[in-house]
Amino acid sequence: METAELEYELPPELIAQRPAERRDESRLLVYDRPTGDVRHRRFSDLPEEVAEDELVVVNDTRVIPARLRLERPGGGEAEVLLLEPVGPDGVWEGLARPSRRLRPGQRLGPVELLEPLGGGRWRLRLDGDPGGEAPLPPYITEPLADPERYQTVYAREEGSAAAPTAGLHFTPELLAQLDVERVTLHVGLDTFRPIETDTLEEHAIHTERFSVEREAWERIRAAERVLAVGTTTVRVIETVSNSLLQEEFGPTETVSGAESAGRAVPSNSLLQGRTGLFITPGYEFKRVDSLLTNFHLPRSSLLALVMAFAGVEETRRLYQLAIAERYRFYSFGDAMLVR
């Protein structure tokens, strides 16, 4: 598939700069795949759109305060965005800029640069715990008054460099009306970068850490219907579904490398590993029946996943409709439910 097929024109004023005053006040575009019907609702109406036998699966990762504003030796600003710990003694992978002016061995406050990895990525050592700001994406230019608004209300497992934004719309009261299960995927580099290759087949997606409690997976596997909240949740569910059937998990399974979709590594109570599953149009979904998601950037792996689930032309039509109806886009924007 040509990456240019993921392009669309978005009026800049539709990029949401701040969250809705109340999380569930966001708008919700509902698309029924069997009939092609579209409904315009509020997110607070979601329980009316969820089937009685539908299990709602969320990603409970928690965003770390990963953006560090620092100073270069001799003066000049620098910025480090922590992506994930990759070794003992405070070793991390991160994005650093201005990367061309940085050198291995340099100290930037609590950060020591160890090795450039290409594309602005560095292996680095951090003294102490992350103590920066919420890592808002670059298209959000307004300061965030309350950092908790870039966390879901069910965030638990700290480790993400970005929020699983489809979950930002939930309130505790709304969750209480649904049958909810949790998985964990720590969001990493691909959230921050567009697909730069000419075709999707040429794009190498970065792997991300995931885990699923064995009891949670049993509920997901046995559910009549599964509604995945966000593209990250989809990737966890489909990775485990593709890896092995539940009864085939055994103690000798190993993690696949970045070149593959990833495998789940079992323990007594936990399925965990890394996933490099890149879901593109033509993919056959094994366990996800409905998708709740925000509106995504052009040329992104997230938009490719939505097109795989809803259909390429259908997604284009829905995005054009959302623009015409003045929906708010991206991280703090409105949501879409595809059934």
Q: What is the dihedral of CA 171, 39, 19, 297, to 10 degrees?
A: 120
Amino acid 254: pLDDT: 32
Amino acid 246: pLDDT: 38
Q: pLDDT tens digits, residue range 15-58?
A: 999 999 999 999 999 999 999 999 999 999 999 999 999 999 99
Q: Do 200 and 3 touch, CB atoms closer than 8 A?
A: yes
Q: Do 86 and 92 touch, CB atoms closer than 8 A?
A: yes
Integer angstrom CA distances of residue 207 from 10, 114, 146, 187, 234: 29, 21, 30, 9, 14
| Domains of the chain, earliest start first | 3-63+137-338 (3.40.1780.10), 75-126 (no CATH)
CA distance 255 to 262: 6
Residue bearing the bigger pLDDT, 55 or 260: 55
Peptide bond into 98 cis (omega under 30): yes
State how far Cα 85 lies from the chain centre.
Answer: 18
- Residue 249, pLDDT > 60, answer no
Q: Taking the alpha carbons of 258, 262, 190, 205 in that order, is the dihedral positive or negative?
A: positive
CA distance 243 to 19: 37
CA distance 148 to 321: 31
Q: At CB < 8 A and 24+ separation, what contacts does 117-122 make? A: 117/93, 119/193, 120/95, 120/96, 121/83, 121/93, 121/94, 121/95, 121/96, 121/189, 122/80, 122/93, 122/94, 122/95, 122/96
Mean pLDDT in the chain? 91
**Band of residue 153 on the pLDDT scale cut at 50, 70, 90:** very high
CA distance 92 to 126: 7
Q: pLDDT tens digits, residue range 108-130?
A: 999 999 999 988 999 999 999 99
Amino acid 237: pLDDT: 97
